[in-house]
Amino acid sequence: MEFETVIGLEVHAELSTQSKIYCTCSTAFGASENTHICPVCTGMPGVLPALNKSVVEYCVKAGLALNCKINQYSRQDRKHYFYPDLPKAFQTSQYDLPLCYDGYLDIDVPEGDPLDGKAQKSTYRKRFGITRIHIEEDAGKLLHGAGSTRIDYNRCGVPLIEIVTEPDFRTAGEVHAFLTMLRSILIYAGVSNCRMEEGSMRCDVNLSLRPGPDAPFGTRTETKNIASMSATVRAIEYERKRQKKVLEKGGVITQDTMRWDDERGLNYAMRSKEDAHDYFYFPEPDIMPIEVDDEWLGRIKASLPELPNARRERYMADYGLPAYDAGFLTGERALAEYFDDAVAAGAPPKSASNWLMSDFARLTNEHSLTWDALPLSPEDLAKCIALVESGKISRTSGSKILDAVFSGDTRTPDELVAALGLAQVSDEGAIRAMCEEVVANNPKPVADFKAGKEKALTSLVGQVMKASKGKANPALVNKLLRELLA
Amino acid sequence: MKITKEQVEHVASLAKLSLSEEEIERLRTQMGGMIAFADEINTLNVASVRPTTHAIAQKNVFREDGCAPSYDRAVMLENAPMQDGECVVVPRVVE
């Protein structure tokens, strides 16, 4: 039997604030257990929360970046549940008046398997609806042991936004493309660092199957504990196949919460939570209503940077870059800004793009560097490109300069050209002498070339390049050899 | 509105409480009284009153983002019934 897969997402992103949502404890990741806690974030009786203003601003910023409408009058609500990761026994969240609602993202979805590693694919454009975005607090971390559970409350009270989408996804590829763009936008906007491996971006997947696009939605399950983009794809494929098997055998899907185990590549139903949706929401009396007036909204709007989609269009329209280049360069804000700066410093856009996609992609990978921490300034990249394109050094020598700089050499490109002896010999007299010598010492290829074997020239060019220790300008060598053999 | 035994048991299970039969009966009567009071309020005509969630008309009470030192861990952990010097310890939580 064939089924259509219907997927909706709940994405949690930790906000990039210094302090927690209701207290002044630090949000820094990786501190010793329970060293970033206080009576407020551990829910001691009698404490009062003080809402962090930046949390509201970041959430509205995310909403604007995701084409949402903004509830200019909003408030917080208590969501009650009893679990040891939440010592207050309620999560301060938002219920019927989320800060943002009714947004969307237009995505160019690559065809086929998102994990097959193929870079360039044909795409189709699709709009995915965003139901709402609200602010809430994160819970603590449970560390399960043999007979007991230990609890670290450092994460308790770290501000989150929860982004809920419409059930608009039909394939794991669509989810992958959406999450990639969402992550990119949230990082661009400075709202979250979205490090899935540190848990600062998490995705729950609601999935159901139905016989066809016109059939009513089937019963859905919710899969949690997905810790990376690729795990999202695997978890979706697994759950889709599991439900398909059940339905084909005539069984029924129960509305379970599944936990994804990426190491074993399978999921299992968590303890039944049939009562879990009885959260007894009510308005949070300790937090005053939030009013984002036009003036404040305008300031938040003005603080948004140029977002990846707009930038992508600009690179294609203004610089004539291929879609693939534009997509690569706008994938991360730091990379896009580096590219912009290099172009502003005089680098031809397509050349800068080529260098970034080849040498830079390799070197950042080899040296485990992020795009915001490159050892070469954009001006020096423009300089390197100019050195190559003016024929002063070869493209290979350009790579050598980058290798040196990425390995910690702090000299400028000009100094490195001199120190490493990379200057190309473009002195026609010197190169002509070398060519003459090579022609004299290699009668066989010379004869072959004269007999019409075009390929023999390559071997002669190679000999000259060797004699010049790689410094001869290859175009000039080519030209002179042809003259000599004519 | 009358509160049933099952409703008391449901709320108790959400709160992870185990109650004796006498406790259930006592709470059933008490909760019934609270709901009856809410029913009484429901008879009022509030068509012209805006929904209110706070007693005082204030809005936008914020704190600027910024850190201050957290509490000493040992002090915080003193409040836990069980702890190991680093973490609060509870009976193993089943997932």
Residue among A241, A105, A94 nearest A166 (CA): A105
Whether residue A373 has pLDDT greater than 80: yes
What CATH number should be reported for the domain holding residue B22?
1.10.20.60
Subunit contact B92:A75, Cβ cutoff 8 A: no
Among the residue ranges A46-60, A68-82, A143-157, A412-426, the one predicted with the least confidence is: A412-426
For A459, the domain range is 428-485
Give the residue from chain B lying closest to A83, CA to CA.
B93
Q: What is the mean pLDDT of chain A?
A: 92
Q: Residue A91 domain-assigned?
A: yes
* Reported ipTM: 0.86
Same-domain pairing of A348 and A467? no
Q: Is residue A337 included in any domain, yes or no? A: yes
In a domain, B31, yes or no: yes
Inspect the interface and report whether the beta carbons of B63 and A52 lie closer than 8 Å.
yes
Which residue is closest to A141 within chain B, CA to CA? B87
Per-residue pLDDT at A422 exceeds 90: no
pLDDT surpassing 70 at residue A390 = yes
Instruction: Name the residue among B66, B58, B57, B54 with its Cα closest to residue A52.
Output: B66
Q: Name the domain count of chain A.
A: 3
Residue A314 lies in a domain: yes
Q: What pLDDT is recorded for position A272?
A: 55
Question: Which residues from A are below 8 Å from B54, CB to CB?
Answer: 283, 285, 288-289
Question: Per-residue confidence at A273, pLDDT binned at 50, 70, 90?
Answer: low
Spatial distance between the Cα atoms of A224 and A271, rounded to a whole number of angstroms: 13
- pLDDT value, residue A280: 87
B68 to chain A: nearest residue by CA? Answer: A24
Q: Residue B63 is nearest to which of A53, A82, A288, comparing CB atoms? A: A53
Q: Confidence band (pLDDT; 50, 70, 90) for B52?
A: confident
**Same structural domain, A95 and A59:** yes
With CB atoms and an 8 Å threshold, state whether A84 touches B93: yes
- Choose the closest CB to A271 out of B67, B82, B95: B95
Q: What is the pLDDT of residues A8-29, one digit of tens each?
A: 999 999 999 999 999 999 999 9
Residue B76: CA atoms inside 13 Å, Cβ hemisphere, count?
25
In a shared domain, residues A152 and A197 = yes
**B90:A285 CB<8 A:** no
Contacts of A291 in chain B (CB under 8 A): 59-60
Phi, psi of A335 (to 5 degrees): -65, -45
The C-alpha atoms of residue A327 and residue A316 are separated, in whole angstroms, by 10
Asked if residue A167 and residue A130 are part of one domain, the reply reads yes
- pLDDT at position A120 over 70: no
Domain-located, residue B83: no
Average pLDDT (A113-120) is 78
Q: What is the pLDDT of residue A428?
A: 81
Q: Same structural domain for residues A330 and A450?
A: no
Mean pLDDT of A30-41: 96
Q: Can you tell me the distance from the alpha carbon of A202 to that of A197, in angstroms, rounded to the nearest whole number?
A: 9
User: Tokens 């600062």, residue?
Assistant: A200
- Comparing CB atoms, the residue among B54, B66, B71 nearest residue A38 is B71
Which pLDDT does position A302 carry in this prediction?
96
| Position B73 in a domain | no
Residues A330 and A471 in one domain: no
Is residue A101 assigned to a domain? yes
Shared-domain flag, residues A285 and A367: no
In this predicted structure, the answer to whether residue A39 has a pLDDT above a threshold of 90 is yes
pLDDT in tens, A437-483: 999 998 888 888 888 888 888 889 888 888 888 788 888 888 888 88
The residue from A260, A295, A330 where one domain ends is: A295
Residue A302 located in a structural domain: no
| Domains of chain B: total | 1
Let me know whether A34 and A155 are in one domain: yes
What would the pLDDT profile of B19-48 be if each residue is shown by its tens digit?
999 999 999 999 999 999 988 988 999 888
pLDDT class for B93, splitting at 50, 70, 90?
Answer: confident
The tens digit of pLDDT for each residue in B62-74 reads 999 999 999 999 9
Residue A290 exposed, middle or buried by CB count within 10 Å (0-12, 13-18, 19+) = buried
Question: Residue ranges of the alpha helices (H) in A255-332?
Answer: 294-302, 308-319, 323-329
A325 lies in some domain: yes
Q: For the beta carbon of residue A184, count every other beta carbon within 10 angstroms.
A: 20
User: By residue range, what is the domain housing residue B30?
Assistant: 1-48
- Chain B contact probe: residue of A150, A191, A270 with most B CBs at under 10 A: A150
Q: For A221-227, what is the mean pLDDT?
A: 91
**Does residue A170 sit in the same domain as residue A56?**
yes
A283 and A412 belong to one structural domain: no
Closest Cβ–Cβ partner in B10, B61, B93 for A149: B93
Q: Domain ends where: A395, A419, A443?
A: A419
Residue A224 lies in a domain: no
In the stretch 94-153 of chain A, residues with CB closer than 8 A to chain B read 142-153
The H or E element containing residue A379 is helix A378-389
